[in-house]
Amino acid sequence: MKRKHILFLALAATVLTGCKSLYGKYERPAVGVSGVVRDPISSVDTLAVSDTASFGNLPWRSVFTDPQLQTLIAKALENNNDLLNAALNIKMAEAQLKAAKWAFLPGFAFSPQGVISSWDGNPAVKTYSLPVQASWTIDLFGTLLSQKRSAQMALMATKDYQLVTKTKLISNIANLYYTLLMLDKEVELVSEMEHLSKDTWELMKLQKEYGHVRSTGVQSAEANYYSVQAQKTNLLRQIREAENTLSLLLGQSAQTIARGKLDAQNLPSRFSTGISLQMLNNRPDVHAAEMNLAQCFYNIETARSRFYPSLTISGSGAFTNNSGMGIVNPGKLLLNAVGSLTQPIFQRGQLIAGLKVAKIKYEQAYNTWQQALLSAGSEVSNALVLYHSSQEKSRIEEKQIATLRQNVEDTKLLLAQSRSTYLEVITAQQSLLNVELSKVQDDFYKMQAVVNLYSALGGGR
């Protein structure tokens, strides 16, 4: 008798221990976040950040202050098809979560039946039955609970992916908008050089009449003029293509995009990346990867719970006039209730395999989460180094442009005095144009770095 008591207590302790692990909640596993962002200037490889406010937490209107750009972003957030589909995905995940919650409630089925029968020509007999059946699964070992929690994690991940889509949309629109501003500025510079090269060509023709320049000099000046015109044509094509792409993001047919000027843009110049651990929650794709990890955790709980018995209580009630069912007074209620306990026995191989698969998927989700964090840090590092390098290069080019402009004026003056060659004039003009275009591109890269950093830090709110 004592042995039976000891065996019963041991079995109860095992079951209770198992239940405790099945009802456990997801906790974030250890993750290395130190040094995930690299300093863009210092020779030290890691960026020491102590601030808690992240640049990515700013509303997008506080970052992109150009009124016309704000109008475009607002329009895209309302009309973009990818963002609309992301919202629909959230509705589907919410419906799945509701279904997981409703699994705790009993199920009811109403199946009325009616029969008309006649035997050997006798008057027809009408019988009917109005049964209502109920079934309720008691969640003893957390099967339904873990499924509900898994659905909750899936809903959170879906919301994260909606924010990912929104962030990408805002970033793409901002980058295309600034691309258009850059191309407009380049067209402006090329147009100025077009007039300048035309004046040089006219000067060469005049110099040839006086015998100061050969025909080859005139031809070189003419060819340089046509080269500048070809550059302008290419830039106009790029503008049209950028407008078409931006129109697609706005959910409208291709058309001209109203915009401001590159020189009038005012973007933030000081950034706060926040501490590395906050990036786990701030980056929607990183957070979504962790929610997928949590979902896999609860899938393991579900797989474990299938090793334990399931308890189902079912009942039925019927209103009938069929005396053949043993009812003494037809037209009364018939009630019954049944409880069943099911313990899986012959499915153990499948259950073990299912648990192993769930654990492997958890490991994969953990690796994906780790990679998402490293990718986030790499994107932040790249954006910071792009901003600082473009800013420094632009400062140098500004000095270079001032020198080259003076060089163009001096060589033209010397050519008019027959103290310089046409090659020096053309070379000076080409050098000036190349550096001016390079500075515009670096100014654009600086703007692009701001957009990339905002996106890399989980902006888009």
Domain boundaries for CATH 1.20.1600.10 within the chain = 30-104+142-308+349-456
59: left (phi over 0), alpha (psi -120 to 50) or beta: beta
105: which DSSP letter? S
What is the reported pLDDT for 435? 93
56-70, 96-110, 325-339, 358-372, range with the lowest pLDDT:
325-339
Amino acid letter at 327? I
Pair of tokens at residue 203: 């000067």
What is the reported pLDDT for 325? 44
Which of 167-171, 235-239, 369-373 ranks highest by mean pLDDT? 235-239
Tell how strand 332-342 and strand 310-320 pair up. Answer: antiparallel
Mean pLDDT in residue range 334-359: 69
Which helix (H) or strand (E) covers residue 113, if one does? strand 113-117
What is the reported pLDDT for 56? 76
Mean pLDDT in residue range 111-117: 73
Q: pLDDT band at 100, cuts 50/70/90? A: low
43: which DSSP letter? S
Paired strand residues for 115 = 127
> For 186-210, how does the pLDDT look when each residue is reduced to its tens digit (9 = 90+)?
999 999 999 988 988 888 888 788 7
Domain boundaries for CATH 2.20.200 within the chain = 109-138+310-342
8 A C-beta contact, residue 320 and residue 296: no
Using the predicted structure, report yes or no on whether residue 218 has a pLDDT greater than 80.
Answer: yes
Mean pLDDT in residue range 38-60: 60
> For 232-265, how does the pLDDT look when each residue is reduced to its tens digit (9 = 90+)?
999 999 999 999 999 998 888 999 999 999 999 9
> For 85-95, how does the pLDDT look when each residue is reduced to its tens digit (9 = 90+)?
877 877 887 77
> For 259-283, how does the pLDDT look when each residue is reduced to its tens digit (9 = 90+)?
999 999 988 877 765 556 566 567 8
Pair of tokens at residue 243: 């407008």
Residue with more model confidence, 411 or 212:
411
8 A C-beta contact, residue 272 and residue 53: yes
CATH number of the 30-104+142-308+349-456 domain = 1.20.1600.10
CA torsion sign for 288, 289, 292, 294 is negative
136: left (phi over 0), alpha (psi -120 to 50) or beta: beta
Using the predicted structure, report yes or no on whether residue 43 has a pLDDT greater than 60.
Answer: no
Query: What is the residue-wise DSSP string for 277-331?
Result: GGHHHHSHHHHHHHHHHHHHHHHHHHHHHTTS-EEEEEEEEEEE--GGGT-SSSS
Mean pLDDT in residue range 148-172: 83
Q: Class of the 109-138+310-342 domain?
A: mainly beta
What is the reported pLDDT for 345? 58
Looking at beta carbons, which pairs linking 399-408 to residues 24 or more positions away fall under 8 Å? Answer: 400/435, 401/432, 401/435, 401/436, 401/439, 404/428, 404/431, 404/432, 404/435, 405/432, 407/431, 407/432, 408/196, 408/432
